[in-house]
């Protein structure tokens, strides 16, 4: 797709600051040290001077501060940040192939590295503060984010600087109403994901927020990262990660709030987290296409509160979203009912969740909830196949993580919980689901796992391959971390040891439909 962005009628677009606040305010925390806005801008200028002439680059930085610097340096040079659905080699290569002349940038010495890979220079700590505050044209394309692929092939979404500024304003108002104007955050989600981009990249750029440079993996590491920040503290996370924290028994320092997205937050999990850690859980709602446009406190609110300026238009097959960050309304598959004069909405499902087989109807989301309620099922997913069978019916398939149970045991439990026409055929037991970095399930990975052969004398759990895009949360307790594209030998060796040492103690959080950007 073309990255060229034309200005309608030849008008000059207004410009907006790259960074909010004074040069002395804290943008990030690295190795226990505060990084001021002035220092950050100096690092951005340093890296921008090393960039080749190009139209776009895949930002592969693992360190969140390095990602911030690379993101801003690319923007200053008029280059687009390409944000693939994962950092798996095939995903990165596909995005680069779709943008001829692009390159990749990161802070690590990667072996092997993608073609045209640029390793960022070490930051010079004695650099003087950056001079004039940079301003970016509101209509400048600064990023192209890809959907996760949970409903099909990942799709690109163009983001301008003006749209990012507008979407951040909504998030900032929501969090400031809960916490106050200034706070500091740790994020367990990757910055390449649109939810991670909004909460851990745009927030420290455009609000009085300091972000922790790391992406902690174990609950103990999350606690350490939070303890290294001054109060008030916020943890940006997902239901998968939050469940791992709750079940680990870890003690966290005082928190002002949790923020969660990427999958539905079970009410009981939100309540357990609030009781355990004495902090409210704020769930945000959006998509890669729209960015976040609503929020709720999951433990107490059924309805979602829309951000200022957002208007929803229910349609027969979904919802049209009109928001300040959107150039034109965008249609989502979510089916909603409006309340409180249109300022709140209740989610009723998705048009893609509605099933009709043999004249009978059901919700795929409800069927998945029934699957996950079976005693002994740690994780699982039911989904409808693309192809119809000989009778013209698109059957339901299932992949289930249930150590100690048989496929027949699961089917018998499902038979008592749903109409037999919706029973999964086929149903396969697997060791783990191919969840990506944010806990989502790319549809292509599910289909590949379903089709993988089972070796004679072994269960599907032994035979099926794992996705190269995922790490599952681990007891003791590993929170899903990055499956890096072309990662360094040191990172690969460390992750291999981690997986091997925790393989037999997996906790797989109960998954669900997408909720939140990406």
Instruction: Quote the pLDDT of residue 352.
Output: 66
DSSP 8-state code for residue 474: B
Which stretches of the chain drop beneath a pLDDT of 70?
1-12, 128-131, 149-152, 351-352, 358-359, 391, 454-518
Task: Give the integer Cα–Cα distance in Å for 497 and 479.
Answer: 15
- Sequence-distant (≥ 6) Cβ neighbours of residue 309 within 8 angstroms: 170, 323, 324
Q: Give yes or no for a cis peptide into 301 (omega within 30° of 0).
A: no
pLDDT value of position 486: 39
| Alpha-carbon gap, residue 431 to 507, rounded angstroms | 11
| Residue 493: how many other CB atoms lie within 10 Å | 11
236 has which bridge partners? Answer: 187, 259
How crowded is residue 131: how many other Cβ atoms within 10 Å of its Cβ?
11
CA separation for the pair 135, 269 (Å, rounded): 42
- Please check whether residue 118 is in contact with residue 51, taking contact to mean a CB–CB distance below 8 angstroms: yes
CATH of domain 353-505: 3.30.300.30
pTM for this model (two decimals): 0.76
Task: Write out the two tokens for 281.
Answer: 């859980």
Q: What are the beta bridge partners of residue 334?
A: 350
Q: Quick one: angle between helices 37-48 and 64-76, nearest 10?
A: 60
343 burial class (0-12, 13-18, 19+ CB within 10 angstroms)? middle
**What gap in Å lies between CA 172 and CA 169, rounded to an integer?**
5
In terms of DSSP bridges, do strands 427-429 and 318-322 run parallel, antiparallel, or are they unpaired? unpaired
The distance of Cα 201 from the centroid of its chain, to the nearest Å, equals 13
Give the separation between CA 88 and CA 149, rounded to whole angstroms. Answer: 13
How distant is the alpha carbon of residue 458 from its chain centre? 34
CA–CA distance, 368 with 350 (Å, rounded to integer): 14
Look at residue 501 in the predicted model and tell me its pLDDT: 32
Rounded Cα–Cα distance for residues 158 and 165 (Å): 14
- Alpha-carbon Rg of the chain, whole angstroms? 23
**C-alpha span between 76 and 60 (Å, rounded):** 18
In this structure, are residues 473 and 240 in contact, taking their beta carbons and an 8 Å threshold?
A: yes
Q: What is the pLDDT of residue 85?
A: 85
In this prediction, residue 359 carries a pLDDT of 65
Q: Helix 364-372 and helix 407-415: axis angle, to 10°?
A: 120
Residue 166 CB coordination number (10 Å):
19
Domain coordinates of the chain in residue numbers?
353-505
């Amino acid at each position: 797709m073309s990255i060229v962005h034309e200005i309608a009628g030849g008008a000059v677009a207004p410009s907006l600051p790259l960074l909010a606040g004074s040069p002395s305010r804290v943008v990030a925390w690295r190795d226990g040290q505060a990084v001021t806005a002035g220092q950050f801008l100096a690092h951005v200028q340093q890296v921008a001077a090393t960039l080749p002439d190009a139209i776009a680059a895949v930002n592969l930085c693992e360190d969140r501060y390095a990602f911030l610097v690379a993101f801003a340096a690319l923007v200053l040079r008029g280059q687009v940040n390409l944000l693939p659905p994962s950092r798996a080699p095939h995903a990165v290569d596909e995005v680069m192939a779709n943008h001829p002349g692009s390159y990749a940038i990161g802070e690590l010495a990667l072996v092997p590295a993608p073609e045209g890979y640029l390793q960022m220079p070490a930051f010079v700590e004695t650099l003087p503060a950056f001079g004039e505050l940079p301003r970016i044209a509101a209509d400048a394309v600064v990023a192209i984010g890809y959907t996760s692929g949970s409903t099909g092939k990942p799709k690109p979404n163009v983001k301008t600087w003006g749209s990012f500024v507008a979407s951040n304003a909504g998030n900032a108002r929501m969090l400031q109403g809960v916490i106050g104007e200034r706070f500091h955050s740790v994020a367990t989600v990757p910055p390449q994901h649109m939810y991670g981009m909004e909460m851990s990249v745009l927030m420290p750029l455009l609000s009085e927020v300091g972000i922790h440079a790391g992406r902690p993996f174990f609950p103990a590491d999350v606690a350490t990262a939070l303890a290294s920040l001054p109060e008030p503290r916020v943890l940006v996370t997902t239901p998968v990660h939050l469940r791992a924290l709750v079940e680990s028994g870890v003690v966290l320092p005082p928190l002002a709030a949790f923020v969660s997205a990427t999958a539905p937050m079970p009410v009981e999990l939100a309540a357990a987290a609030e009781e355990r850690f004495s902090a409210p859980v704020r769930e945000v709602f959006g998509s890669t296409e729209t960015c976040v446009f609503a929020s709720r406190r999951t433990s107490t609110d059924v309805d979602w509160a829309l951000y200022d300026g957002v208007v929803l238009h229910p349609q027969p097959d979904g919802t049209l979203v009109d928001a300040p960050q959107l150039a034109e309304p965008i249609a989502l598959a979510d089916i909603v009912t409006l309340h409180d004069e249109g300022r709140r909405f209740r989610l009723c499902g998705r048009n893609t969740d509605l099933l009709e087989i043999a004249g009978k109807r059901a919700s795929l989301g409800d069927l998945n909830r029934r699957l996950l309620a079976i005693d002994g099922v740690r994780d699982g997913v039911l989904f409808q196949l693309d192809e119809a069978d000989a009778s013209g019916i698109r059957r339901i398939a299932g992949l289930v993580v249930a150590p100690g149970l048989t496929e027949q045991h699961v089917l018998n439990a499902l038979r008592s919980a749903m109409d037999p026409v919706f029973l999964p055929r086929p149903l396969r037991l697997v060791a783990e689901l191919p969840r990506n970095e944010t806990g989502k399930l790319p549809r292509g990975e599910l289909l590949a796992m379903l089709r993988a052969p089972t070796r004679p004398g072994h269960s599907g759990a032994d035979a099926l391959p794992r996705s190269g895009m995922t790490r599952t949360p681990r007891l003791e307790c590993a929170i899903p971390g990055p499956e890096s594209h072309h990662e360094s030998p040191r990172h690969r060796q460390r992750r291999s040891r981690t997986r091997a040492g925790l393989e037999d103690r997996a906790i797989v959080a109960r998954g669900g439909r997408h909720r939140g950007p990406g």
